[in-house]
Structure 1
Amino acid sequence: MRAKYASFTEQEHRARLAEARRLLKEQGIGHCISMAPESLYYYGGYDSWVSVNSPQALIFSADEDEPTIILRDTDLSLAYESSWVEDVRCYRLMFDDIPAIFAAIAREKGLRDGKVAIEIQSYAVPHALGLALARALAPAQIVDATVLMGMPRLIKSPAEMAYLRRASRYAQAGLDAARQALKPGITEIALADAIEHAMRSAGSDYWSIPTELASGDRTAGGHATARNRVIERGDLVHLEFAGVEARYHATAIHTLAAGEPSRRAREVYEIGRHSLAAGIAAIRPGANVTDIEEASLEPVRAAGLEQAAVMRFGYGIGIAYPPIWLEPLQISRGSNQTMREGMVFVLHAYLQLVDEQLGIIQGGTYALTENGVEMLIGGGDVPLDVV
């Protein structure tokens, strides 16, 4: 049976595609070759991570034609089991001219010398492939569709929220396992194993970023992954990992202590906690993301640690494939976006004191609902968790 493992109805996918077409027309763009795997899933229902080594695309025009999925022959059954799209075509890797095939399909749909949208900021479009596509599509002009195709994903439907809440439950299982397993003498890798085993046992799909975990003198590394370091009594341990349902990610962020930490560690943690709370308090529909990050920095500046706050305060999250789980919402200075009801996002207060070999991160995944900001999963604004 076709689309046996579909995550959404064909009707929801077609409504999303209609919105993408509306945006294309607004920009005067006639065609799209969508190659980011999160877009293929969001619009076409096609669930596959293999863009990293096998180009694949959803090709459609701004008109009402039926879309086409083109993929490697090895992955044909993956489209049949997940996608509503009827026109699915294949190529043979190492034998067929993939850019030429993509261009030929676009021309079947009326592309001549106009604009064609491609998510050129996606890892699924490496430089060499992008150059080859530009040659194959000439004289048509490639325009970047990374934001255009990504922005509709920021407002979550009820069905998407249901997946995110289930993903949050998987992440909660990981957080509970971390609290239970953490003790002096355990290694970081063993702690990561306990977290990941708990999430998989609860039913989680695979996550698109490795479990980030650092302890003791490694905590100043914001994106550190677990090593065979033995966790010592009094060490801080900070965690960032995601539960996943139907490719929707809910990220847990938390700092724990393996026994009573140093006075300085507690002090830095409290500054980060106040930063997180101040940023959350500034979030409401219509709020500018710059103002939110500025609010989060006020407690940090008061403590003289602004130079240690090196991460953006937040970003959008939802559908994700390796190697990232970020959506095009940036809750940061330098962006001019505004918050809207229905958005789901990761928030984190992060302080990195490299000279002191000390760092904390605190936050989680939140939703902006009609009732305000709701934390779906994470440590949040709580006193330091000493286990």
Structure 2
Amino acid sequence: MQGKFASFSEQEHRARLAQARGLLKEQGIDHCISVAPESLYYYGGYDSWVSVNSPQTLIFSVDESDPTIVLRDTDVSLALESSWVKDVRSYRMMFDDIPGTFAAVAREKGLRGGKVAIEIQSYAIPHSLGLALARALAPAEIVDATVLLGMPRLIKSAAEMAYLRKAGTYAQAGLDAARQVLKLGISEITLAGEIEHAMRAAGSDYWSIPTELASGDRSAGGHGTARERIIERGDIVHLEFAGVAARYHAAAIHTMAAGEPSKRARSVYDVGRASLAAGIREIRPGAKVSDIEEASLGPVRAAGLEHAAVMRFGYGLGVAYPPIWLEPLQISRGSDQIMQTGMVFVLHAYLQLVDEQLGIIQGGTYALTENGVEMLIGGGDVELEVV
């Protein structure tokens, strides 16, 4: 029975699961104990953030039998309201052997030895749980399936794109609020609060990463969150936050100035803007991600600021739960991935000058569609906005 708060049809989930089974079979893996909340949602429809606190899993084999969800008894109703999976089992925290319970279900599905896939890079499986699972599953060998189970998420369906566009409207509400509220004398925390309120009021679900906001002499902090700093005349203010629809994230990235900034700040921003535009021009189906980042660095090198470009140019975005929203697409040198139609990703040109207490970040969330690169939300390739 389809959960009343399901975001996708059972047929779409089953098609995704069939794809995952095919990928596992190609690697000689017959069983999977999926623990990442993104996977539980993507394949099983189960919507819950609590994996980092209470272990939960979607267990399946490569045959056509139905999967099983195992979770804490406190959360059974969450599976019933969101997931299509009929076999939902529970354990009691502090009393039941959780790894043993997971292993017992896997053995019901035929696991005896061989390989079993688990996303061992997920925050949902701390080292202690991983060790206990390895003991419970022996003599089966645990194989890391973090990337294998994550890769199918990179190409979005029409239904997924609809959620991403809706998420973009929520993030736009936050960006509009930032433009209206940013003024001299406001604190970073107050500004962040207004952004978050606007997104929630517009209908956004909760986001997986805190609102990142840094201004003035804090602007060199790329992942800085709001503090009780008062914004002063000429301050650079950079923002990164996401609107969320059905767990699909669309991140807005933008830098503004509270009053006329210094010439140096304008100059650095212009380099970042040129870097963003240069990278975007290289994005097309079949493009190498390494070539895209290399192109983005052209204007940065010309300005003598390559040392300040310390972030990768982009990464995949879609389904996410705390504490991160990144998917396994890396738009960066050092990766051999290829761009494909249907991918959704964050692009950001970031320059960090710690000695000058100055940093800018410009970009947003983009989709590679049949019509080219489409920006879903963000500041994008625009002149520095002064408010």
For the criterion TM > 0.5, the same-fold answer is yes
Runs of 4+ in 1 over 6 A off after TM superposition: none
Residues 37 and 124 in structure 2, CA contact (< 8 A), matched pair in contact too? yes
Q: CA-to-partner distance for each residue in 1:181-209, whole Å, 9 max, x for gaps?
A: 00010000000011000000000000000
Residues 14 and 43 in structure 2, CA contact (< 8 A), matched pair in contact too? yes
Q: Equivalent residue for 1:292?
A: 292
- Pairwise CA distance, 1:166: 0.3
Partners of 1:112 and 1:30 lie apart in 2 by 10
Q: CA-to-partner distance for each residue in 1:63-100, whole Å, 9 max, x for gaps?
A: 11110000000000000000000000000000000000
Q: CA-to-partner distance for each residue in 1:319-377, whole Å, 9 max, x for gaps?
A: 00000000000000111000000000000000000000000000000000001000000
Q: Equivalent residue for 2:182?
A: 182
Q: Equivalent residue for 1:244?
A: 244
* RMSD, aligned α-carbons: 0.5
* 1:91 equivalenced with 2:91 (yes/no): yes
Q: Equivalent residue for 1:54?
A: 54
Q: Equivalent residue for 1:115?
A: 115
- 2:262 corresponds to which letter in structure 1? S
Q: Give the 3-state SS of the residue equivalent to 2:321 in structure 1.
A: coil
- 1:176 corresponds to which letter in structure 2? D
Partners of 1:159 and 1:102 lie apart in 2 by 32
Equivalence map 1:213-232=2 (5 Å): 213-232=213-232
Partners of 1:183 and 1:316 lie apart in 2 by 33
Q: Equivalent residue for 1:147?
A: 147
Partners of 1:149 and 1:288 lie apart in 2 by 22
- 1:66 corresponds to which letter in structure 2? D
Q: Equivalent residue for 2:255?
A: 255
Partners of 1:259 and 1:377 lie apart in 2 by 24
Equivalence map 1:100-139=2 (5 Å): 100-139=100-139
- 1:288 corresponds to which letter in structure 2? K
* 1:368 equivalenced with 2:358 (yes/no): no
Residues 182 and 258 in structure 2, CA contact (< 8 A), matched pair in contact too? yes
Q: CA-to-partner distance for each residue in 1:145-204, whole Å, 9 max, x for gaps?
A: 000000000000000000000000000000000000000100000000110000000000
Partners of 2:44 and 2:118 lie apart in 1 by 15
Partners of 1:2 and 1:267 lie apart in 2 by 55
Partners of 1:43 and 1:239 lie apart in 2 by 32
* 1:9 equivalenced with 2:9 (yes/no): yes
Partners of 1:367 and 1:95 lie apart in 2 by 47
TM-score of the superposed pair, with normalisation by structure 1: 1.00
Partners of 2:220 and 2:53 lie apart in 1 by 33
Q: Give the 3-state SS of the residue equivalent to 1:269 in structure 2.
A: helix
* 1:264 equivalenced with 2:257 (yes/no): no
Q: Equivalent residue for 1:43?
A: 43
- 1:145 corresponds to which letter in structure 2? A
Gaps of 5+ in 1: none
Partners of 2:267 and 2:36 lie apart in 1 by 42
- 1:249 corresponds to which letter in structure 2? H
Q: Equivalent residue for 2:381?
A: 381
Q: Equivalent residue for 2:311?
A: 311
Q: Equivalent residue for 2:159?
A: 159
Residues 234 and 260 in structure 2, CA contact (< 8 A), matched pair in contact too? yes
* 1:173 equivalenced with 2:176 (yes/no): no
Partners of 2:317 and 2:258 lie apart in 1 by 30
* 1:281 equivalenced with 2:267 (yes/no): no
- Pairwise CA distance, 1:32: 0.2
Q: Equivalent residue for 1:207?
A: 207
How many residues were matched structurally?
A: 387
Equivalence map 1:53-92=2 (5 Å): 53-92=53-92
Change (3 A) 1:2 1:10: closer
- 1:376 corresponds to which letter in structure 2? L
- 1:360 corresponds to which letter in structure 2? I
Q: CA-to-partner distance for each residue in 1:101-151, whole Å, 9 max, x for gaps?
A: 000000000001110000000000110000000000000000000000000
Partners of 1:335 and 1:139 lie apart in 2 by 34
Percent of residue pairs identical: 83
Partners of 2:335 and 2:133 lie apart in 1 by 30
Partners of 2:50 and 2:208 lie apart in 1 by 12
Partners of 1:145 and 1:109 lie apart in 2 by 19
Q: Equivalent residue for 1:338?
A: 338
- 1:377 corresponds to which letter in structure 2? I
- Pairwise CA distance, 1:2: 5.0
- 1:314 corresponds to which letter in structure 2? G
Partners of 1:339 and 1:190 lie apart in 2 by 39
- 1:102 corresponds to which letter in structure 2? F
Q: Give the 3-state SS of the residue equivalent to 1:16 in structure 2.
A: helix
TM-score of the superposed pair, with normalisation by structure 2: 1.00
Partners of 1:298 and 1:133 lie apart in 2 by 48
Partners of 1:31 and 1:375 lie apart in 2 by 39
Partners of 1:67 and 1:201 lie apart in 2 by 37
Partners of 2:280 and 2:107 lie apart in 1 by 48
Residues 238 and 360 in structure 2, CA contact (< 8 A), matched pair in contact too? yes
Residues 2 and 10 in structure 2, CA contact (< 8 A), matched pair in contact too? no
